[in-house]
Chains A and B, each alone.
Chain A
């Protein structure tokens, strides 16, 4: 899509796409996931870059997550309607990042209960406007919708019942961000990890490196056969599937600490830390340097 497409009224662009449901994969019975592309938000991808999907119970549906734009969410909604007529009762908001929450408005007519980490309202209130401005500069006006706040807040643990199917929700300590929430479907042994788990696409650190390693260690002990990463394949074996993430975060921790101990500056650390991981991840050059800065800021005060 070229620059001229930006001047096309939003309703025309969206009307064509509303009717086109996403292709989803059923990674476990009743759990359908749309694969997000390993790209950054652009006019040609509608910010459909995260793995998003839905879980069908006997009585209701839960969306997890809603996607990166209204169009992304609308197309997910169309996929749900292809699969089931059951009401969409819950929309999970796994953390503050735009590629996971900007589709929330696409479900407003369903009057679902929006669910998030207890820290999510504050995180959204401080960041949503920046994210919206930035995303709409790329996707065009009115592609994000109004700010949607979670109504059900999770502190520690909570569960939602879809009828014969319970999703156990966990509000995590500061890790990928300070508003990370995961969901566990015990029935199929499926962990919906969202961005606590990156596979193939380089992780982005926006919370705490030490916190993420700590939460990951806890998640590894969860009784799940598979996990759905926020980015990467729609499903990986668990806990085997977090091997690369754990290694990357470990390298970041060790090498950043070593750089600090040697009295290296932050800009020198950016050029050296983590380079052994370069060939193992998509978008490495776009995020590793930023991750090093985050890690350095956190670790230099140890």
Chain B
């Protein structure tokens, strides 16, 4: 992923937009913004995806994901810095991984999940930043090496350059704190959904201080490893597009009472570990 990531960053740093989050007096669909975005037409968007597809998957072919992968996102996102995404997957052949690509973000590969034997990959939810009007592509990979793609268009802008808060020190105060909620009742061998919350500002290096003219240095989550009693649930390669204080909902299959262990590593090489009893308590 390292090389791909660098390539993609270089490819699209020019798309950095200095648009702000909607605070109190901007509706995101204001006329001026709409005019600006109408300039990029369908053909350009298709060309962009073709370019990204080649950079990420090389010559491998992608099949229509209808019936295999579905992506849900608000068409008009209310908060560009927090766009909730739901991914639903269904496949006879086991699912190996998932790529979430936000085409017009500065670093488009927002997430790459690799699922382990304890995973239930059917439903996955996360929150991302969206910098400008864009297609979001979800590509799922099955264990036989096939790739399936689904897409959705999202209208919002400014999520990447939006200030995290006015106080950077405050934003780092509880960094690494985690919570895990089980969304359902534990029953051995039955799939269970869990919601993981992580305190992390996920500074993407695009928030600028006007006095110093300096950007808050990037500090973002690079990987998350979830294991259940030592067996992998998922490994996530992440990037600057995850929202501040990321929240990820995922499924797993606890064969018996056990421990969900989370290891989060960020771009400063800080590592945060938490273990949670399943069921809780």
Interface residues of A (CB under 8 A from B): 3, 40-43, 47, 49, 68, 96-99, 119, 121-131, 133-134, 137-138, 147, 178-179, 195, 204, 206, 263, 265-267, 270, 286-287, 289-290, 293-294, 297, 300-301
From A43, A122, A131, A301, B167 is in contact (CB under 8 Å) with A122
18 A-B contacts, Cβ less than 8 Å apart? A40-B27, A42-B30, A96-B23, A125-B212, A126-B208, A128-B210, A137-B32, A137-B33, A178-B165, A178-B167, A195-B24, A263-B183, A267-B74, A267-B86, A270-B78, A294-B79, A301-B179, A301-B197
From B74, B158, B181, A130 is in contact (CB under 8 Å) with B158
CB nearest to A49 among chain B residues: B25
Q: In whole Å, how far is A102's beta carbon from the nearest beta carbon of chain B?
A: 10
Beyond A134-B158, A138-B30, 18 additional contacts (C-beta under 8 Å) are A119-B166, A124-B210, A125-B211, A125-B212, A126-B166, A129-B20, A129-B210, A130-B20, A131-B23, A134-B26, A178-B165, A195-B24, A206-B23, A263-B195, A265-B249, A267-B74, A267-B84, A270-B78
Does B247 touch A at the CB level, under 8 Å? yes
The answer for the CA separation of A300 and B179 in the assembled complex, in Å, is 10
CB nearest to B207 among chain A residues: A126
Does B196 touch A at the CB level, under 8 Å? no
Q: In whole Å, how far is A178's beta carbon from the nearest beta carbon of chain B?
A: 5
From B79, B207, B245, A293 is in contact (CB under 8 Å) with B79
Q: Indicate if the CB atoms of A123 and B158 lie closer than 8 Å.
A: no
CB nearest to A129 among chain B residues: B210
Residues of A within 8 Å of B167, CB to CB, are 119, 122, 178
Q: Indicate if the CB atoms of B210 and A126 lie closer than 8 Å.
A: yes
Q: Indicate if the CB atoms of A127 and B23 lie closer than 8 Å.
A: yes
Q: Indicate if the CB atoms of A265 and B25 lie closer than 8 Å.
A: no
Inter-chain contact count A-B, CB under 8 Å?
Answer: 116
Q: Indicate if the CB atoms of A297 and B82 lie closer than 8 Å.
A: yes
Q: In whole Å, how far is B249's beta carbon from the nearest beta carbon of chain A?
A: 7
Interface of A is mostly: helix
From A96, A122, A130, A195, B21 is in contact (CB under 8 Å) with A130
Interface centre among A3, A127, A130, A290 (most CB of B within 10 A): A130
A-facing residues in B193-210 (Cβ within 8 Å): 195, 197, 199, 207-210
Residues of A within 8 Å of B183, CB to CB, are 263
Residues of A within 8 Å of B166, CB to CB, are 96, 119, 122-123, 126-127, 178-179
Does B180 touch A at the CB level, under 8 Å? no
Q: Indicate if the CB atoms of B84 and A138 lie closer than 8 Å.
A: no
- Assuming the contacts A129-B18, A178-B165, A178-B167, asked whether A204 and B84 have C-beta atoms less than 8 A apart, the reply is no
Q: Indicate if the CB atoms of B25 and A130 lie closer than 8 Å.
A: no
Q: Indicate if the CB atoms of B247 and A300 lie closer than 8 Å.
A: yes
CB nearest to A288 among chain B residues: B78
Does B19 touch A at the CB level, under 8 Å? yes
Q: In whole Å, how far is A255's beta carbon from the nearest beta carbon of chain B?
A: 16
Interface centre among B74, B78, B158 (most CB of A within 10 A): B78
Closest 6 CB pairs of A and B: A130-B20, A204-B24, A125-B211, A267-B84, A125-B210, A123-B166
Interface centre among B167, B181, B207 (most CB of A within 10 A): B167
Mask of B192-233 contacts with A, CB within 8 angstroms, 1/0? 000101010000000111111000000000000000000000
Residues of A within 8 Å of B104, CB to CB, are none
Q: Indicate if the CB atoms of A204 and B23 lie closer than 8 Å.
A: yes
The answer for the CA separation of A49 and B33 in the assembled complex, in Å, is 19
Residues of A within 8 Å of B26, CB to CB, are 40-41, 134
Q: Indicate if the CB atoms of A41 and B25 lie closer than 8 Å.
A: yes
Interface centre among B208, B209, B210 (most CB of A within 10 A): B210
Residues of B within 8 Å of A68, CB to CB, are 25
